[in-house]
Amino acid sequence: MTRERDMAEDCSQLTFIHAWRSLPTFEGRSAFASWLHRIAVNQVLSHKRSRKSWLEFDTDALLDESSEAYIEAVAHGASEARNDLIDVERALARLPEGARYVVVLQTVYGYSHEEVADMLGIAVGTCKAQLHRGRRLLRERLNLAAENS
Protein backbone atom coordinates (compact mmCIF):
# COMPACT_ATOMS: atom_id res chain seq x y z
CA MET A 1 0.00 0.00 0.00
CA THR A 2 2.91 2.38 0.51
CA ARG A 3 4.88 1.85 -2.72
CA GLU A 4 7.95 2.91 -0.73
CA ARG A 5 10.21 0.34 0.87
CA ASP A 6 11.38 2.65 3.68
CA MET A 7 7.84 3.71 4.53
CA ALA A 8 6.69 0.07 4.49
CA GLU A 9 9.49 -0.90 6.86
CA ASP A 10 8.64 1.99 9.20
CA CYS A 11 4.96 1.06 9.17
CA SER A 12 5.82 -2.61 9.83
CA GLN A 13 7.92 -1.69 12.83
CA LEU A 14 5.25 0.66 14.18
CA THR A 15 2.63 -2.04 13.61
CA PHE A 16 4.49 -4.49 15.83
CA ILE A 17 5.11 -1.85 18.49
CA HIS A 18 1.41 -0.95 18.49
CA ALA A 19 0.41 -4.64 18.54
CA TRP A 20 2.75 -5.35 21.45
CA ARG A 21 1.32 -2.45 23.45
CA SER A 22 -2.25 -3.44 22.55
CA LEU A 23 -1.82 -7.16 23.18
CA PRO A 24 -3.64 -7.00 26.55
CA THR A 25 -6.71 -5.65 24.73
CA PHE A 26 -6.79 -8.50 22.17
CA GLU A 27 -10.02 -10.31 22.96
CA GLY A 28 -9.72 -13.21 20.55
CA ARG A 29 -13.00 -12.42 18.77
CA SER A 30 -11.09 -12.66 15.50
CA ALA A 31 -7.99 -14.50 14.38
CA PHE A 32 -4.74 -13.00 15.64
CA ALA A 33 -3.55 -12.56 12.03
CA SER A 34 -6.69 -10.57 11.17
CA TRP A 35 -6.21 -8.37 14.23
CA LEU A 36 -2.56 -7.75 13.32
CA HIS A 37 -3.38 -7.10 9.67
CA ARG A 38 -5.94 -4.49 10.63
CA ILE A 39 -3.38 -2.75 12.84
CA ALA A 40 -0.97 -2.75 9.87
CA VAL A 41 -3.52 -1.26 7.47
CA ASN A 42 -4.51 1.37 10.03
CA GLN A 43 -0.83 2.20 10.56
CA VAL A 44 -0.28 2.77 6.83
CA LEU A 45 -3.41 4.90 6.56
CA SER A 46 -2.42 6.89 9.63
CA HIS A 47 1.10 7.41 8.32
CA LYS A 48 -0.24 8.61 4.99
CA ARG A 49 -2.62 11.03 6.68
CA SER A 50 0.20 12.43 8.77
CA ARG A 51 2.27 13.01 5.63
CA LYS A 52 -0.67 14.84 4.05
CA SER A 53 -0.40 12.70 0.93
CA TRP A 54 -2.05 9.54 -0.24
CA LEU A 55 0.24 7.21 -2.13
CA GLU A 56 -0.92 4.75 -4.72
CA PHE A 57 -1.91 1.20 -3.80
CA ASP A 58 0.95 -1.08 -4.78
CA THR A 59 -0.67 -2.54 -7.87
CA ASP A 60 2.82 -3.41 -9.15
CA ALA A 61 2.70 -6.31 -6.72
CA LEU A 62 -0.01 -7.83 -8.90
CA LEU A 63 2.53 -8.10 -11.72
CA ASP A 64 5.29 -9.69 -9.66
CA GLU A 65 5.63 -13.27 -10.88
CA SER A 66 6.36 -14.40 -7.32
CA SER A 67 3.23 -12.71 -5.95
CA GLU A 68 0.37 -14.76 -4.59
CA ALA A 69 -2.10 -13.24 -7.08
CA TYR A 70 0.05 -14.11 -10.07
CA ILE A 71 0.83 -17.65 -8.86
CA GLU A 72 -2.84 -18.30 -8.17
CA ALA A 73 -3.87 -17.05 -11.60
CA VAL A 74 -1.31 -19.28 -13.32
CA ALA A 75 -2.22 -22.26 -11.11
CA HIS A 76 -5.83 -21.99 -12.24
CA GLY A 77 -4.81 -22.32 -15.87
CA ALA A 78 -4.95 -18.68 -16.90
CA SER A 79 -2.62 -18.75 -19.90
CA GLU A 80 -2.90 -14.99 -20.28
CA ALA A 81 -2.56 -14.36 -16.55
CA ARG A 82 0.13 -11.72 -16.88
CA ASN A 83 -1.82 -9.72 -19.47
CA ASP A 84 -4.98 -9.96 -17.38
CA LEU A 85 -3.10 -8.76 -14.31
CA ILE A 86 -1.60 -5.88 -16.27
CA ASP A 87 -5.13 -4.84 -17.31
CA VAL A 88 -6.33 -5.05 -13.69
CA GLU A 89 -3.30 -3.10 -12.48
CA ARG A 90 -3.89 -0.34 -14.99
CA ALA A 91 -7.61 -0.19 -14.25
CA LEU A 92 -6.99 -0.04 -10.47
CA ALA A 93 -4.38 2.68 -10.87
CA ARG A 94 -6.85 4.81 -12.83
CA LEU A 95 -9.62 4.63 -10.23
CA PRO A 96 -10.33 7.76 -8.21
CA GLU A 97 -8.44 7.61 -4.91
CA GLY A 98 -11.43 7.02 -2.64
CA ALA A 99 -12.88 4.27 -4.79
CA ARG A 100 -9.45 2.62 -5.21
CA TYR A 101 -8.86 2.31 -1.46
CA VAL A 102 -12.35 0.98 -0.78
CA VAL A 103 -12.08 -1.58 -3.61
CA VAL A 104 -8.66 -2.75 -2.44
CA LEU A 105 -9.54 -2.95 1.25
CA GLN A 106 -12.80 -4.80 0.60
CA THR A 107 -11.99 -6.92 -2.43
CA VAL A 108 -8.34 -7.73 -1.86
CA TYR A 109 -8.21 -7.72 1.95
CA GLY A 110 -11.81 -8.72 2.65
CA TYR A 111 -12.79 -6.02 5.14
CA SER A 112 -16.48 -5.22 5.72
CA HIS A 113 -18.08 -1.89 4.84
CA GLU A 114 -18.04 -0.93 8.52
CA GLU A 115 -14.34 -1.79 8.92
CA VAL A 116 -13.31 0.07 5.77
CA ALA A 117 -15.42 3.09 6.69
CA ASP A 118 -13.78 3.15 10.13
CA MET A 119 -10.26 2.81 8.66
CA LEU A 120 -10.78 5.56 6.11
CA GLY A 121 -12.79 7.85 8.37
CA ILE A 122 -15.84 7.91 6.11
CA ALA A 123 -19.51 7.00 6.53
CA VAL A 124 -20.63 3.44 5.78
CA GLY A 125 -22.94 4.78 3.07
CA THR A 126 -20.01 6.57 1.44
CA CYS A 127 -18.01 3.34 1.60
CA LYS A 128 -20.81 1.43 -0.15
CA ALA A 129 -21.13 4.13 -2.80
CA GLN A 130 -17.36 4.18 -3.39
CA LEU A 131 -17.29 0.38 -3.73
CA HIS A 132 -20.16 0.45 -6.22
CA ARG A 133 -18.51 3.27 -8.18
CA GLY A 134 -15.11 1.57 -8.12
CA ARG A 135 -16.46 -1.78 -9.33
CA ARG A 136 -18.46 -0.09 -12.10
CA LEU A 137 -15.41 1.85 -13.28
CA LEU A 138 -13.22 -1.26 -13.11
CA ARG A 139 -15.75 -3.23 -15.14
CA GLU A 140 -15.95 -0.46 -17.75
CA ARG A 141 -12.18 -0.12 -18.02
CA LEU A 142 -11.56 -3.86 -18.17
CA ASN A 143 -14.25 -4.27 -20.85
CA LEU A 144 -12.65 -1.44 -22.83
CA ALA A 145 -9.22 -3.05 -22.48
CA ALA A 146 -10.63 -6.40 -23.67
CA GLU A 147 -12.25 -4.76 -26.70
CA ASN A 148 -9.01 -3.01 -27.63
CA SER A 149 -6.90 -6.17 -27.48
d(CA 88, CA 110): 18
Residue 95 burial (C-beta neighbours within 10 Å; 0-12, 13-18, 19+): buried
Helix H or strand E encompassing 46: helix 32-50
pLDDT at 128: 94
User: Which tens digits make up the pLDDT trace of 27-49?
Assistant: 888 788 888 888 888 888 777 76
pTM for the complete prediction? 0.54
Question: CATH assignment of 57-149?
Answer: 1.10.10.10
Q: Please list the residue range(s) of the chain that carry CATH number 1.10.10.10.
A: 57-149
